[in-house]
């Protein structure tokens, strides 16, 4: 298991009043149990994208991230 504790990730989400985990947080929970997930970097500003792309490599997929977004493709929030 990696250094992140699933209970801590979930606790933080609950403290923020969230009923769902974002895809990013859900993958962190899975990775904490050594379940393989895609490599991803959470960015907050457009100018952070080039560095994240260099670190992850290509092809690159960008997705909107929010616990409220369960159907990103249908909402046109996925870019390759």
Q: What is the C-alpha to C-alpha distance for residues 72 and 62, in angstroms, rounded to an integer?
A: 10
Mind listing the pLDDT tens digit for each residue in 41-70?
Answer: 999 999 999 999 999 998 888 888 877 777
Q: What range defines the domain where residue 29 resides?
A: 6-79
Cis link prior to 59 (omega < 30° from 0)?
yes
Mind listing the pLDDT tens digit for each residue in 6-42?
Answer: 999 999 999 999 988 988 899 999 999 999 998 889 9
Q: The pTM is what?
A: 0.70
75 inside domain: yes
Cβ atoms of 46 and 23 closer than 8 Å: no
57 inside domain: yes
What pLDDT shows up at residue 26?
92
63 inside domain: yes
What pLDDT shows up at residue 2?
62
1 inside domain: no
The total number of structural domains in the chain stands at 1
């Amino acid at each position: 298991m990696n250094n992140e504790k699933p209970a801590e990730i979930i606790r933080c989400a609950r403290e923020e009043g969230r009923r769902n985990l974002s895809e990013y947080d859900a993958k962190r929970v899975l990775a904490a149990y050594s379940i393989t997930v895609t490599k991803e970097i959470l960015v907050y500003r457009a100018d952070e994208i080039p560095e994240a792309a260099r670190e992850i490599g290509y092809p690159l997929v960008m997705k909107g991230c929010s616990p409220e977004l369960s159907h990103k493709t249908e909402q046109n929030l996925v870019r390759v």
